[in-house]
């Protein structure tokens, strides 16, 4: 398989609850009807503090029973599309939750990555985001790559984008498509989102696929949007803008081979 059809879903999730989850499920169902891979952003099932997240968190031993995972497993089984869940809460032994990305295929969880680099910052206007207070970090150097035919998906989440060594390790493990599901804030998104994504593509000569949240959320948080797909040469192939929606592209492994041959790699 040298080409694959990809759909990237951009959401504007509210708080944890049926409304946010159902919107993500419906958009995935529509996209899976005509795509080989469907990628969702970080926090696709909603935003909220630890107390709000815990009822929606899954257990490591039984991810298929997680309320934020089960409906997508059904879609992956029925459609045969691979689904990338960009970031969902997973229970941690210390009482916090991991922020976990999953790859589903044919009704099974085939890859799992726990976000390593957590985002703690004070935004303009005084909004304080302290991910590490309620989210446990994944182990360093997970380097998770999900292989789907000739396409090898290297997993990361949002703030990982600022750590280029993570993507070099994924490339060394055979990745040719880098997933960066995110909920990038507006100030940092406007300044850094596209340039960092293009840099990761150019450095690794890989496709970069970045599903994103957009709009306003609970707790005074807002997201930049602009889900993008970037070629191994650093070109923006599609941009979802700043409203919810889905972008679709065809990925061709020849573009990876061509870019890497120019670098002698």
Alpha-carbon span 98 to 187, nearest angstrom: 25
Which three-class secondary structure state does DSSP give residue 209? Answer: strand
Backbone φ and ψ for 141, nearest 5 degrees, come out as 70, 35
Name 167's Cβ contacts closer than 8 Å, sequence gap at least 6: 154, 156, 175, 178, 200, 203, 204, 206
CB-CB contact of 41 with 226 (8 Å): no
| Closest-CA residue to 254 (of 235, 232, 236) | 232
CB-CB contact of 144 with 3 (8 Å): no
Q: How many CB atoms lie within 10 A of CB 156?
A: 29
> How remote is the C-alpha of 54 from its chain's centroid?
20
List the catalytic residues.
Answer: 42, 115, 158
Radius of gyration of the chain (CA): 17
Surface-to-core class of residue 41, CB atoms within 10 Å of its CB (0-12 exposed, 13-18 middle, 19+ buried): buried
């Amino acid at each position: 398989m040298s080409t694959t059809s990809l759909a990237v879903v951009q959401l504007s999730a509210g708080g944890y609850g049926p409304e946010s989850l159902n919107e993500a499920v419906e958009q995935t169902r529509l996209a899976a009807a005509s795509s080989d891979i469907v990628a969702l952003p970080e926090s696709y099932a909603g935003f909220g503090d630890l107390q709000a997240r815990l009822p929606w968190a899954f257990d490591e031993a039984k991810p298929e029973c997680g309320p934020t995972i089960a409906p997508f497993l059904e879609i992956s089984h029925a459609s045969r599309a691979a689904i990338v869940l960009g970031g969902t809460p997973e229970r941690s032994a210390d009482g916090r939750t991991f922020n976990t990305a999953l790859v589903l295929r044919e009704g099974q969880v085939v890859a799992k990555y726990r976000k390593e680099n957590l985002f703690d910052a004070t935004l303009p206007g005084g909004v304080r985001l302290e991910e590490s207070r309620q989210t446990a970090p994944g182990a360093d150097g997970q380097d998770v790559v999900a292989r789907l035919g000739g396409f090898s998906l290297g997993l990361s989440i949002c703030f990982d984008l600022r750590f280029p060594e993570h993507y070099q390790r994924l490339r060394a493990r055979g990745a040719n498509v880098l997933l960066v599901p995110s909920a990038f804030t507006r100030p940092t998104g406007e300044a850094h989102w596209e340039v960092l994504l293009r840099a990761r593509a150019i450095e690794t000569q890989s496709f970069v696929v970045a599903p994103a949240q957009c709009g306003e959320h609970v707790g005074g948080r807002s997201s930049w949007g602009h889900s993008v797909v970037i070629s191994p040469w650093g070109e923006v192939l599609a941009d979802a803008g700043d409203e919810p929606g889905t972008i679709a592209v065809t990925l061709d492994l020849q573009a990876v081979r061509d870019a890497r041959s120019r670098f002698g790699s």
